A and B are shown apart, each in its own frame.
Chain A
Amino acid sequence: MNYITKATLMAGTIIVSSTAANAVEIDYWQYIFDTRVAAVDQLIEQFEEANPDITVNHVTFPYADYQTRVVAANMSGNGPDVLQMFYGWTDNFVNGGVLQPLPTDVFPTEEIEADFFPIVTAMKRGDDYYGLPTAVRSLALFYNKDLFAEAGIDNPPETLDELVDYASRLAVKDSGGNYTTVGLTVEMGGQDHQWWREVLVRQFGGEPYSADYSTVTYDSEAGLAATQWYTDLTTKHEVGYTGFMDEGQAAFRAGRAAMTIDGTFRLGSFRDIEGFEWGVAELPANAEGLRSNYASYFANGIGAGAEGEELEAAAKFLQYLSSPEAMQLWLEVVGELPARPEVALTEANLADPIYAPFLKGLEYAHTTTFVDEQAQRQVTMDMANRVFLQGQSVEDTLAEAAAAEQAIIDRAR
């Protein structure tokens, strides 16, 4: 109410004085993804209503060249005031002077760390925060309820052993020995590389990296066991293979994969599946009950070029983007989980059969600090492919992968 009164007064002043002095325009950048664009449009509308002296221009680019655009615009001094970015780009953007630290008067560090899920620290460099997420993502096991019923399996797997057991029972081959249905999608290029890195390696007793993610540590006995277990899915248990139906998510959508591991961001595209019922379960635990998960997010940061009243407006807008209201709207429109526990862990969300497994995953999730996500993913894909396509031993392929990834990390640091 107060806002509206203020707004009316403000509008009145603007008309009377007829100066544009207190009208600030800021640019907000993100990549094109229908629901995200729609959500931001709604958020901007509400924000402008509350802050009539600020105009937010919503600028979008295709994901493929989003990063390049940000960097190029920053070089020419036309960068955005507020921008959306993957947490994994932080190092590059901070070192490259694309971002500026969030003003601590508006975003006190203690408050951030108290109000957001702990994974927010991936945005911290030194004592400064460089961005805040609206929503976070985690992984879960999607399963096809119809195929489970046909196979006489009542519940999704709770443990890794059950996962292997169910998946091999659910895989179907024709007389020629070709899969017609896979029990579990096996695809490092999808989300499996995250699953292997942050979940399996830990469940087999290892650590994928040193605490600051500067050293690869999965070249260990635990890493070996995890990799052996993963590649056995195809080579020993024959639950599925990489490339079946082109992509794991395509196979699941087509009802030809009984299970697939994927993230919250897949909910949107799986929601319009009509041919069968599907459910979501927490990622299976190991025999000792240890669970892990990989969480990631897109954060909003403030561009290095914003200063003066633009910086003030940018901070205000960022504050709104990371507010509980914005998170609720994001959940409803985009389907991604709120980044504040107070908004995420509501009774309604925890009772929701689809959100609950993802939310539980957030509690014990890890967030990998990537220096070059695509290159590091490629290393993991190649690691699995050397076993699948060239019959290399797991020991050798793991050592080769660890060396390759360490080189990528060293080069970037």
Chain B
Amino acid sequence: MAMTQISPQSAPRLSMRMRRAIWVWAFLALPVLFYSVIRFYPTIDAFRLSFTNWNLMSPPEYIGLQNYREMFASAEFWKVFRNTFAYLIIGTPISLFLSFIIAYFLDRIRFGHTFLRALYFLPFITTASAMGWVWRWFYQPAPTGVINSVLGAVGMGQLDFLRSTTWALPSIMVTAIWAGLGFQIIIFMAGLRSIPQTYYEAAKIDGVGDFAILRKITLPLLKPTTIFLVVFSSIGFLRIFDQVYNMTTNDPGGPLGSTKPLVLMIYQTAFNSYQMGAAAAQTVVLFTILLIISLLQLWILRTR
């Protein structure tokens, strides 16, 4: 901004601008180069590889759209696709709703505020794999699993959790939601704090009720925060891997593939079966989904 305001009247000034630009680019070159090599090149190369049959060892062989045809024809892929969207569609609203409720009430209390906030944040800074294993043991049948032991002690039946094709995905989702909650609460609280108090004071003077304040003032003014968190959390759920992998290592993504997300499928195709081309095709699908969802959310943000 400052640079454009300097009017280019004489030659030395111009060269000064040039020199500055060179300096700027000299510093920018490193991250640009880094990202080109580490991020952009592999991303673009994935598109190329998705049209090949490559097992890492023999040179890639061009096979056109065969990887895509096989992928879209496979029942397993569609199951994994549904699972991925189940994580997204159930996980994102629940986690946002919970974190908003907690942030909203946490914002109103003074006693134990810092302690509670730290407590909620704690899971976020814990290693995902460690957390996955702890929850995996929670979910075990009695006598090892805490939850089932308690259920048994109060005379209730056992829940199969991770051994059920119906309940394994929700069980893992609970862990993932719990893990991300702390971060979302902190962001929501920052958002709540940034709403000017004057609005609330004015509303109170006018005698507006708590619920109306929430609906008419808090939620609308919190929209940028909410949108950020929706994007952030959606991408997180679409890329879920750690929790699933660690909670189902004996049967990764199981039982019967009922918890397998796209990223785990990509991992298995690439590094267990060494079908790099097929894995690249799956990656392209994931990339496309992420792109569409991000663009959609940017669009919602713009028509605010």
Cβ-defined partner of A74 (8 Å) among B55, B57, B141:
B57
A169–B255 CA distance with the chains assembled, in angstroms: 29
Cβ-defined partner of B256 (8 Å) among A176, A187, A390:
A390
Q: A65-B271, A246-B140, A389-B165 are in contact. Are A96 and B254 (CB under 8 A)?
A: no
Interface centre among A98, A372, A389 (most CB of B within 10 A): A389
Q: A178-B158, A180-B143, A189-B251 are in contact. Are A97 and B165 (CB under 8 A)?
A: no
Interface string of A153-181 (1 = CB under 8 A from B): 00000000000000000000010101110
Q: A178-B158, A389-B165 are in contact. Are A382 and B56 (CB under 8 A)?
A: no
Whether B273 and A375, one on each chain, are in contact in the complex, defined by CB atoms closer than 8 angstroms, is yes
Interface flag for A374 (CB, 8 Å):
yes
Interface centre among B55, B56, B164, B272 (most CB of A within 10 A): B56
Interface flag for B142 (CB, 8 Å):
yes
Give B126-170 interface residues, CB cut-off 8 Å to A: 136-137, 140-144, 148, 152, 155, 157-158, 162-165
Interface flag for A346 (CB, 8 Å):
no
Give B81-109 interface residues, CB cut-off 8 Å to A: none
Give A363-378 interface residues, CB cut-off 8 Å to B: 372, 374-375, 378
Q: A65-B271, A246-B137, A385-B254 are in contact. Are A178 and B152 (CB under 8 A)?
A: yes
Whether A96 and B158, one on each chain, are in contact in the complex, defined by CB atoms closer than 8 angstroms, is no
Whether B255 and A247, one on each chain, are in contact in the complex, defined by CB atoms closer than 8 angstroms, is no
Chain B residues with CB under 8 A of A381: 251, 254
Whether B58 and A246, one on each chain, are in contact in the complex, defined by CB atoms closer than 8 angstroms, is no
Interface flag for A72 (CB, 8 Å):
yes
Chain B residues with CB under 8 A of A245: 140, 144
A247–B133 CA distance with the chains assembled, in angstroms: 13
Q: A65-B271, A246-B140, A375-B272 are in contact. Are A96 and B256 (CB under 8 A)?
A: no
A382–B252 CA distance with the chains assembled, in angstroms: 11
Chain B residues with CB under 8 A of A244: 141
Q: Looking across the interface, which residue of chain B has its beta carbon closest to that of A390? A: B165
Interface flag for B250 (CB, 8 Å):
yes
Whether A98 and B152, one on each chain, are in contact in the complex, defined by CB atoms closer than 8 angstroms, is no
Q: A65-B271, A243-B162, A247-B250 are in contact. Are A72 and B56 (CB under 8 A)?
A: yes
A310–B268 CA distance with the chains assembled, in angstroms: 35
Interface flag for B124 (CB, 8 Å):
no
Interface flag for B183 (CB, 8 Å):
no
Whether B272 and A374, one on each chain, are in contact in the complex, defined by CB atoms closer than 8 angstroms, is yes
Q: Looking across the interface, which residue of chain B has its beta carbon closest to that of A175? A: B152
A378–B142 CA distance with the chains assembled, in angstroms: 26
Interface flag for A9 (CB, 8 Å):
no
Q: Looking across the interface, which residue of chain B has its beta carbon closest to that of A242? A: B163
Interface flag for A95 (CB, 8 Å):
yes
Interface size on A, residues (CB 8 A): 36
Interface flag for B274 (CB, 8 Å):
yes
Chain B residues with CB under 8 A of A95: 57-58
Chain B residues with CB under 8 A of A375: 272-273
A297–B125 CA distance with the chains assembled, in angstroms: 41
A74–B57 CA distance with the chains assembled, in angstroms: 8
A92–B271 CA distance with the chains assembled, in angstroms: 13
Whether B256 and A382, one on each chain, are in contact in the complex, defined by CB atoms closer than 8 angstroms, is yes
Interface centre among B55, B140, B143, B164 (most CB of A within 10 A): B143
A374–B56 CA distance with the chains assembled, in angstroms: 18
Q: Looking across the interface, which residue of chain B has its beta carbon closest to that of A374? A: B272
A375–B257 CA distance with the chains assembled, in angstroms: 12
- Whole-angstrom distance from the CB of B162 to the nearest CB of chain A? 7
Whether B141 and A96, one on each chain, are in contact in the complex, defined by CB atoms closer than 8 angstroms, is no
Whether A385 and B142, one on each chain, are in contact in the complex, defined by CB atoms closer than 8 angstroms, is no
Interface flag for A106 (CB, 8 Å):
no
Q: A97-B57, A244-B141 are in contact. Are A372 and B255 (CB under 8 A)?
A: no
Whether B273 and A372, one on each chain, are in contact in the complex, defined by CB atoms closer than 8 angstroms, is yes
Cβ-defined partner of A372 (8 Å) among B140, B141, B163, B272:
B272
Chain B residues with CB under 8 A of A382: 254, 256-257
A132–B155 CA distance with the chains assembled, in angstroms: 58
Q: Looking across the interface, which residue of chain A has its beta carbon closest to that of B136? A: A246
Interface flag for A386 (CB, 8 Å):
yes
Q: Looking across the interface, which residue of chain B has its beta carbon closest to that of A408? A: B273
Cβ-defined partner of A389 (8 Å) among B57, B157, B163, B272:
B163
Whether A189 and B163, one on each chain, are in contact in the complex, defined by CB atoms closer than 8 angstroms, is no
A389–B251 CA distance with the chains assembled, in angstroms: 14
Chain A residues with CB under 8 A of B255: 385, 389
Chain A residues with CB under 8 A of B268: 374
A174–B274 CA distance with the chains assembled, in angstroms: 46
A178–B142 CA distance with the chains assembled, in angstroms: 7
- Whole-angstrom distance from the CB of B163 to the nearest CB of chain A? 5
Chain A residues with CB under 8 A of B257: 382
- Whole-angstrom distance from the CB of A339 to the nearest CB of chain B? 27
Whether B141 and A178, one on each chain, are in contact in the complex, defined by CB atoms closer than 8 angstroms, is yes
Whether B164 and A243, one on each chain, are in contact in the complex, defined by CB atoms closer than 8 angstroms, is no
Q: Looking across the interface, which residue of chain B has its beta carbon closest to that of A96? A: B57
- Whole-angstrom distance from the CB of A105 to the nearest CB of chain B? 27
- Whole-angstrom distance from the CB of B290 to the nearest CB of chain A? 25
Interface string of B55-72 (1 = CB under 8 A from A): 111100000000000000
A378–B268 CA distance with the chains assembled, in angstroms: 11
- Whole-angstrom distance from the CB of A281 to the nearest CB of chain B? 25
Q: Looking across the interface, which residue of chain B has its beta carbon closest to that of A180? A: B143
Chain A residues with CB under 8 A of B155: 176
Give A70-120 interface residues, CB cut-off 8 Å to B: 71-72, 74-75, 92-93, 95-98
A375–B273 CA distance with the chains assembled, in angstroms: 7
Whether B164 and A92, one on each chain, are in contact in the complex, defined by CB atoms closer than 8 angstroms, is no
| Nearest 3 interchain pairs by C-beta | A96-B57, A243-B163, A374-B272
Given A93-B57, A372-B272, 20 new contacts (CB under 8 A): A68-B56, A68-B271, A71-B56, A75-B57, A92-B55, A92-B57, A95-B57, A95-B58, A96-B56, A96-B58, A174-B142, A174-B143, A176-B152, A178-B152, A180-B143, A189-B251, A243-B140, A246-B140, A381-B254, A382-B254
| 26 A-B residue pairs with CB within 8 Å | A68-B271, A71-B56, A71-B274, A92-B57, A95-B57, A96-B56, A98-B57, A174-B143, A176-B157, A178-B141, A178-B143, A178-B148, A178-B152, A189-B250, A243-B140, A243-B163, A243-B250, A244-B141, A245-B140, A245-B144, A246-B136, A374-B273, A375-B272, A375-B273, A389-B163, A389-B255
Chain B residues near A (Cβ < 8 Å): 55-58, 136-137, 140-144, 148, 152, 155, 157-158, 162-165, 250-251, 254-257, 268, 271-274
